[in-house]
Amino acid sequence: MVQSTYNTMKKREFLKAAGLLGAGALMGKSVLFASSSSVDLEPTDGPAGYGNEFTIPELGYAFTALEPHIDALTMEIHYMKHHAAYVANLNKAVANDVQFQNKDIDTVLTLVTGTQAAIRNNAGGHWNHSMFWKWIRPGGSKLPGGALELALNNSFGNFEEFKKQFSESAKNRFGSGWAWLCLGEDKKLFVCSSPNQDNPLMTNISEQKGLPILGLDVWEHAYYLKHQNKRADYINSFFEIVNWDQVTAMYLAAMH
C-alpha cells in the first residue's frame, strides 16, 4: 500500500536523523551509571537497539539536571525502573514471537496489532521513553525558532495556540498516556494524544497516524512525586525544558 510504504520510508529517515542527533548530543558515559549493573547502558544506534536485544539508551545528563522542573528521584525511577522494565519485557516478548525477531523498533511499531499486548505496550514504552529523554534537556530553550516556528505558525496560528492545544491534549488524556506533536502526511503539524504506551507510529492501532516530533508522558509515574494530582503544573514545567533543537531536527529530517 502506498500509505504504508510512505510511512515506513519516512519513519526510517526520521529515526535515522534522530539517532544521529542523539549520538552527537551524548555527553559520554555518566559516572552516575558506572556502578549500575541493572541496565545495559551501551549507546544505541537510534532511539532503540536493533536486532533481538533492545537496550536502554544513555540518558546523557544527570538525574538532577532537570530540577526544579523534574525532580531527581522521579527521573531516576522513571529511567532506571520504568524504562528499563519496558526494555526487559520487550526483549522477553520478542524472544517468544518470531514475527518480531530481528526487526528494528520502528518496524515492530509498524507491524504490531491491537491484540499483541506485550509487544504493543513494551515496544511503545521503549520508543516513547527513548525519545522523551531527548525531548527534554537541562536549561531547555524557551521557544522554537526558524523553520519549526514557521510550521507551528502555519498549523496553529502562533506558538501560544500550539502550546494551548498541546497542553489541553495532555490534560484531557484520561488515565495514562501521551500527548504528541506530529507531522502528518500532508506535511502539516497536528496535536493528538494516545492511551497507555501507544503512539502515532503504530499504523495498525493509532487513530491518528503521523511522525511524533515531540511527546509528553502524562502517566502519573512521570510527575506524581513532585506534582501529585496537578498534571497541569507538570505540563507547564515540561515547557520550561523542551529541547526544541531536537524537535526541529526531527521536523527537518521528516520534511527533507
Nearest approach, Cβ of residue 129 and Mn ion (Å): 6
The shares of helix, strand and coil residues in the chain, as percent rounded to the nearest 5, are: 55, 10, 35
Q: Do residues 83 and 129 touch, judged by C-beta distance below 8 A?
A: yes
Contact residues for 27 (Cβ-Cβ < 8 A; gap 6+): 60, 61
Q: Candidates 151-159, 179-187, 215-223, 226-234 — which segment interacts with Mn ion by CB under 5 A?
A: 215-223
Give the three-state DSSP class for 179.
strand
219/251 with CB nearer Mn ion: 219
Nearest approach, Cβ of residue 88 and Mn ion (Å): 15
7/193 with CB nearer Mn ion: 193
Nearest approach, Cβ of residue 122 and Mn ion (Å): 12
| DSSP element (H, E) containing 117 | helix 117-135
Q: Candidates 116-124, 164-172, 195-203, 221-229 — which segment interacts with Mn ion by CB under 5 A?
A: 221-229
Which of 191, 217, 249, 251 contacts Mn ion by CB under 5 A? Answer: 217
How far is Cα 40 from Cα 54, in angstroms, rounded to an integer? 9
170-189 mask for Mn ion (x: CB under 5 A)?
--------------------
- Which neighbouring-strand residues pair with 4? none
ω into 195 cis (within 30 of 0): no
30/196 with CB nearer Mn ion: 196
Instruction: Note whether 106 binds Mn ion by CB under 5 A.
Output: no
Sites of contact with Mn ion (CB under 5 A): 217, 219, 222
